């Protein structure tokens, strides 16, 4: 229990003043511009948008600057800001099949219509520090590519497997999805709520859980059927107009996994699937999300509960939100004097009782 304390105003003010100066860094350095953070720290911005659950690159850059690069603190700032805004409506579901892709790979099929497109990836780099970035000199600029600029037609890879009935179908049930930012999540949660929770969940936590499934804790043999990154249009019905407009565009990462098949005497064998969708270029997160989504589907797919953490939706969904987690964790730093005083009294009394008996 946290009991309010009084006093300390002067020290708190001084601490915040120091924070302000520490935040600025040495006065002789140029201050960081939020546009530089937005454009040059774009993957940090993407993570803050994905887990902050608010797509606005300028705001995410500001939050990162204010948080001195502490991304969970930045996500906290974004979540807090979001609560101050009215909700104007909900979009139609984005059409990821019509994504304007800048990256699109499949680990299961070599030859896919539209081709494999690597995009701006760290894959195949040697992970050697590039000291040119530290020196004054900029990297030599390479000229941008040339071409006709025709949009890549890239239908979903798993659609082809689906056509042959080799993979489970994912029909649209037409249901209005629950929203955990409006109604407290009740367990067991349906897949729509689980996907929402995972999409805003902590990357590190989900990465660890996804990895645990690969190592054997509810192993489900995931292959990356397709991973794609690119822009999708956001369309919403505007009441005063009476029709929908494409009022925005967001970059998203989508990951579809092809998993362990199931089948029986009456049903032919069929692959199953996991799904990840996240704001920004956040492919480690989307991939982790897909693996954990698949692990959480054990019940509906008729698999055994192996007691693995990634299968336990209460465990996963109650602990994947890093703002809930850090809020509870970090509050124990704050004064608990009265609370602790009571414990101290109790231990003293127990000890006194034991001495009396001796």
Q: Rule CB under 8 A: which of 80-99 touch another protein? A: 82, 85-94, 96-97
**128-147 residues near another protein, rule: CB under 8 A:** 144-147
SS3 349: helix
Q: CA 254 to CA 95: how far, in whole Å?
A: 11
**268-287 residues near another protein, rule: CB under 8 A:** 273, 275, 277-279
Q: Counting contacts by CB under 8 A, is residue 58 touching another protein?
A: yes
Helix (H) or strand (E) holding 79: helix 71-82
For another protein (CB under 8 A), the number of binding residues is 88
Other C-beta atoms closer than 10 Å to the C-beta of 142 total 6
Other C-beta atoms closer than 10 Å to the C-beta of 14 total 10
Q: Counting contacts by CB under 8 A, is residue 213 touching another protein?
A: no
Given the complex with another protein, which of 197 and 210 has the nearer CB atom? 197
Q: CA 181 to CA 204: how far, in whole Å?
A: 22
Q: CA 186 to CA 193: how far, in whole Å?
A: 9
Kindly indicate which of the ranges 125-133, 252-260, 313-321, 332-340 contains the residues binding another protein, using the contact rule CB under 8 A: 252-260
**12-41 residues near another protein, rule: CB under 8 A:** none
Q: Counting contacts by CB under 8 A, is residue 179 touching another protein?
A: yes
> What secondary structure does DSSP assign to 129-166, as a single string?
--GGGTSSSPPPPPPPP-S--PPP----THHHHHHTT-
In whole angstroms, the minimum distance from the beta carbon of 272 to another protein comes to 11
Q: Counting contacts by CB under 8 A, is residue 243 touching another protein?
A: yes
Are 173 and 191 in contact by the 8 Å Cβ rule? The answer is no
Kindly indicate which of the ranges 6-14, 65-73, 170-178, 312-320 contains the residues binding another protein, using the contact rule CB under 8 A: 170-178
Given the complex with another protein, which of 189 and 218 has the nearer CB atom? 189
Given the complex with another protein, which of 120 and 335 has the nearer CB atom? 120
CB within 8 Å of 275: residues ≥ 6 apart: 170, 195, 255, 256, 257, 289, 290, 293
In whole angstroms, the minimum distance from the beta carbon of 331 to another protein comes to 26
Q: Counting contacts by CB under 8 A, is residue 358 touching another protein?
A: no
Q: CA 70 to CA 50: how far, in whole Å?
A: 15
Given the complex with another protein, which of 101 and 320 has the nearer CB atom? 101
In whole angstroms, the minimum distance from the beta carbon of 24 to another protein comes to 25
Residue among 267, 265, 288 at smallest CA distance from 276? 288
Residue-wise burial string across 45-58, b where 16 or more C-beta atoms lie within 10 A, e elsewhere: bbbbbbbbbbbbbe
Of positions 37, 77, 199, 210, contacts another protein by CB under 8 A: 199
Of positions 55, 76, 271, 298, contacts another protein by CB under 8 A: 55
């Amino acid at each position: 229990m946290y009991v309010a304390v009084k006093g300390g105003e002067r020290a708190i003010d001084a601490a915040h003043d120091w924070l302000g100066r520490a935040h600025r860094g040495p006065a002789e350095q140029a201050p960081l511009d939020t546009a530089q953070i937005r454009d040059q720290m774009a993957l940090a911005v993407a993570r803050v948008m994905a887990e902050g659950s608010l797509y606005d690159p300028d705001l995410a850059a500001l939050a990162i600057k204010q948080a001195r690069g502490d991304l969970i603190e930045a996500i906290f700032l974004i979540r807090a800001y979001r609560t101050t805004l009215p909700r104007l409506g909900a979009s139609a579901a984005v059409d990821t099949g019509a994504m304007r892709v800048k990256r699109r790979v499949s680990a299961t099929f070599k030859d896919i219509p539209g081709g494999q497109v690597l995009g701006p990836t760290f894959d195949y780099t040697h992970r050697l520090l590039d000291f040119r970035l530290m020196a004054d000199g900029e990297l030599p600029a390479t000229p941008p590519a040339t071409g006709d600029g025709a949009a890549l037609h890239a239908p979903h890879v798993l659609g082809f497997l689906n056509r042959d009935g080799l993979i489970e179908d994912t029909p649209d049930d037409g249901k209005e999805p629950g929203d955990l930012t409006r109604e407290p999540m009740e367990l067991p949660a349906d897949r729509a709520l689980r996907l929402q929770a995972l999409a805003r969940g902590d990357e590190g936590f989900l990465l660890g859980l996804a990895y645990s499934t690969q190592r054997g804790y509810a192993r489900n043999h995931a292959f990356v059927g397709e991973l794609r990154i690119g822009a999708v249009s956001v369309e919403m019905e505007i009441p005063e107009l009476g029709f929908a407009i494409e009022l925005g565009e967001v970059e998203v990462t989508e990951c579809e996994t092809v998993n362990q098949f199931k089948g029986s005497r009456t049903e032919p064998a069929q692959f199953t699937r996991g799904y990840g969708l996240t704001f920004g270029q956040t492919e480690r997160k989307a991939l982790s999300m897909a693996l954990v989504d698949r692990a959480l589907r054990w019940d509906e797919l008729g698999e055994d509960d192996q007691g693995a953490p990634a299968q336990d939706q209460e465990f996963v969904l109650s602990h994947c939100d890093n703002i809930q987690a850090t809020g509870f964790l970090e509050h124990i730093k704050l004064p608990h004097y009265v609370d602790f005083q009571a414990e101290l009294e109790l231990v003293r009394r127990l000890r006194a009782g034991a001495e009396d008996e001796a």
